[in-house]
């Protein structure tokens, strides 16, 4: 695949609402020691959103595969198609970061072969609508739903690194220029030496979703892109602190615990086992609610 420029990457800017659940205190996060999780780079494999502006769906598909330790490809087009049913702008290309969070909570995404993907159509035709999803695809996707999306309030260099340590990865909404697919001499290129580290845009042309995680140090934060393994470092890239002014939103995913009702209705657990598990669920919820309350209370 030859490098090409994107006409539309796939972000509809979103302003956080008071009801959006947020994490990250008013105090700046402290510097983090170097972090390295090779599993992030072993996730199977980097996805390609093609010519359609589906980075919101493909970022979620990559993140779910990583968080769930999957070796199978998940379907970015399915996730994007669902996002378009809830983002409030069905006739506009791209989606919002809030819709990505809603998809993580309500729909998940299915295995790649369960939903048609026309995103690599050279004509740039619209993506497959969610109405094309079969019951099998919807049921399979639901197995990966149930995540609670949390907006980061600390979008600083240290804040993003701290979120990676706590939640493993962060979906970032960032403004971009043609530096993402252009060498310093102006030629179109996806080569690592030409595009990494990502250079701050001389002119903002659009915005893009990508998944930060896997590795960082005092100089670089790594991320997974959705432009195939031909882009950057085998599909991955990294940015430096000079890119922070262009980061506009970020979310992490917290896995909701199993419901108490599910445990109570379990056919094989003994009563003592049920009581023990229910108490663990209550303790986990109380702990997380307490942490979230502290973080929100400090805003």
pLDDT band at 261 (very low <50, low <70, confident <90, very high): confident
Q: Is the same domain home to 211 and 280?
A: no
> Span 137-146, mean pLDDT?
93
Q: Is residue 224 located within the same domain as residue 268?
A: no
Domain-located, residue 4: no
**CA nearest 292: which of 17, 24, 33?**
24
Strands 22-23 and 35-36: unpaired
Residue 6 domain flag? no
pLDDT digits (tens, 9 = 90+) for 185-211: 999 999 999 999 999 999 999 999 999
Give the range with max mean pLDDT: 227-236, 259-268, 277-286: 227-236
Q: Has residue 102 been placed in a domain?
A: yes
pLDDT of residue 25: 62
Dump pLDDT digits (tens) for 155-192: 999 999 999 998 999 999 999 999 999 999 999 999 99
Check whether 296 has a pLDDT greater than 70. Answer: no
Domain contains 29 = yes
Q: Answer yes or no: do 174 and 283 share one domain.
A: no
Sign of CA dihedral 198, 40, 250, 206: positive
% of the chain with per-residue pLDDT over 90: 64
Is 143 in the same domain as 273?
no
Does residue 134 carry a pLDDT above 60? yes
Number of domains in the chain: 2
CATH number, domain of 180, equals 3.90.70.10
Q: Which residue shows structure tokens 């896997």? A: 214
Q: What number is the average pLDDT over the span 56-67?
A: 96
283 is in which domain, residue-wise?
A: 258-299
Does residue 138 sit in the same domain as residue 266? no
Q: What is the average pLDDT value for the chain, to the nearest integer? A: 88
The reply to whether 88 and 190 lie within a common domain is: yes
pLDDT at 95: 97
Q: Which is more confident, 275 or 87?
A: 87
| pLDDT given for residue 286 in this prediction | 74
Query: pLDDT-derived band of residue 43, with 50, 70 and 90 as boundaries?
Result: low
249 and 267 fall within a common domain:
no
> By three-state DSSP, how is residue 41 classified?
helix
- Where do the DSSP E strands lie in the chain? 22-23, 35-36, 147-152, 169-176, 206-216, 221-224, 236-239, 247-255
149 and 249 in a single domain? The answer is yes
In a domain, 84, yes or no: yes
Give backbone dihedrals phi and psi of 83, rounded to 5 degrees, phi first: -55, -35
Dump pLDDT digits (tens) for 6-33. Answer: 888 999 999 998 878 888 765 678 899 9
Q: Are residues 67 and 199 in the same domain?
A: yes
DSSP 125: P
Domain shared by 51 and 96, yes or no: yes
Is residue 249 domain-shared with residue 270, that is, in the same domain? no
Q: Look at residue 15 and tell me if it is in a domain.
A: no
Find out whether 142 and 135 touch, Cβ atoms under 8 Å: no
> Is the domain of 48 the same as that of 118?
yes
Distances in Å between the alpha carbon of 218 and those of 158, 195, 251? 9, 20, 22
Angle between helices 97-106 and 76-86 (to 10 degrees): 110
Domain annotation covers residue 46: yes
């Amino acid at each position: 695949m030859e490098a090409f420029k994107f006409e539309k990457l796939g972000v509809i800017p979103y302003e956080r609402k008071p009801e959006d659940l947020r994490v990250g205190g008013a105090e700046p996060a402290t510097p983090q020691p170097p972090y390295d999780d090779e599993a992030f780079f072993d996730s199977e494999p980097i996805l390609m959103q093609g010519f359609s502006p589906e980075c919101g769906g493909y970022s979620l598909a990559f993140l779910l595969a990583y968080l769930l330790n999957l070796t199978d490809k998940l379907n970015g087009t399915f996730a994007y198609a669902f996002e378009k049913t809830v983002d409030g702008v069905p006739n506009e290309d791209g989606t919002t970061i809030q819709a990505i969070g809603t998809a993580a909570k309500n729909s998940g995404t299915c295995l790649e072969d369960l939903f048609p993907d026309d995103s690599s159509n050279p004509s740039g035709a619209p993506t497959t609508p969610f109405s094309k999803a079969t019951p099998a695809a919807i049921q399979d996707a639901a197995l990966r739903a149930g995540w609670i999306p949390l907006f980061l309030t600390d979008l600083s260099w240290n804040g993003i690194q701290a979120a990676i340590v706590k939640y493993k990865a962060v979906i970032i909404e960032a403004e971009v220029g043609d530096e993402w697919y252009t060498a310093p001499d102006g030629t179109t290129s996806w080569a690592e030496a030409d595009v990494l580290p990502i250079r701050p845009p001389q002119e903002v042309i659009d915005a893009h979703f990508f998944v930060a995680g896997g590795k960082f140090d005092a100089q670089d934060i790594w991320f997974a892109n959705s432009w195939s393994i031909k882009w950057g470092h085998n599909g991955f890239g990294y940015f430096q602190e000079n890119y922070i002014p262009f980061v506009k939103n970020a979310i992490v995913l917290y896995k909701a615990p199993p419901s108490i009702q599910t445990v109570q209705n379990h056919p094989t657990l003994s009563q003592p086992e049920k009581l023990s598990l229910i108490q663990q669920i209550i303790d986990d919820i109380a702990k997380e609610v307490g942490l979230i309350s502290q973080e929100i209370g400090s805003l």
